[in-house]
Amino acid sequence: LAFKMGAHSSKEGLSQEDMAFLERNTRYDKATICDFYKGFMADCPEGKLSPTTFCQIYSKCFPTGNAKEFCDHVFRTFDTDKNGEIDFKEFLLSIDVTSSGTPEEKLNWAFSMYDVDGNGWIDLEEMTKLVGSIYKMIGTHQTQTHLAKYEAEAKERAKGIFKRMDINNDGKVTKEEFTKTCLEDENLIDLLTPPSAECHIQ
């Protein structure tokens, strides 16, 4: 995203209240928050990020793959008040976690993304959906044959990961099981957590 203040950007800037909130709840200082805000407003003069704009920006990080499905999941996780758009506070809180958070914080964030229906656990269908969308995003599929192969591979991968995570074999993966399994396997963290949202704002 551009860091240049757009011609239509908000006249009033960031309220003192929002600035204080973001200084308290992220690792950024005032100057960095202002820079992020300028970039955000240059790209979203209305001060809100729609799913379409968000996906256009995020997709630039994956020029060869199809990031649409994965974008939808990331958008849902950024949009904490579930009103269908991302405001600057939601944007920066998620950026902070995905780019500077501890492994535990990143995994908590990722868990919310995998728990598609928000019921507090992940089932096999949710795991398959997300792993499939990651495969589509990082892969290049020129042909239908490639696509079918990727989908089958993603399904198997999701099944394997789910089995490892479902420690007590009850068909559900809780946040504790998800975090514990990922912390024991760095490759899993790399596969399951989205690339740093920093790439949106280059």
Residues 39-85 have pLDDT tens digits of: 999 989 999 999 999 998 888 877 777 888 999 999 999 999 999 99
Rg (CA), the chain: 18
Q: How far is 100 from 74, CA to CA, in rounded Å?
A: 17
Helix 175-183 and helix 144-165, axial crossing angle in degrees, nearest 10 = 100
Check residue 194 and give its pLDDT. 61
> Of 179, 177, 154, whose CA–CA distance to 167 is shortest?
177
Whether the predicted pLDDT of 189 surpasses 60: yes
b/e 12-21 (16+ beta carbons within 10 angstroms → b): eebeeebeee
Task: Enter the tokens of residue 108.
Answer: 């908590």
**Mean pLDDT, residues 147-172:** 92
Q: CA 122 to CA 111: how far, in whole Å?
A: 8
Contact 196, 101 (CB under 8 A): no
Nearest residue to 173 via CA among 108, 106, 116, 123: 123
Residues 6+ away with beta carbon under 8 Å from 86: 48, 49, 54, 75, 78, 79
pLDDT tens-digit readout, 122-147: 999 999 999 999 888 877 555 566 77
Residues 125, 194: Cα–Cα separation, whole Å: 19
Cα dist. 144→135, 139, 151, 186 in Å? 14, 13, 10, 32
User: Which pLDDT value is given to residue 57?
Assistant: 84
Single pTM value for the model: 0.84
Contacts of residue 114, Cβ cutoff 8 Å, sequence gap at least 6 = 122, 126, 127, 130, 178, 192
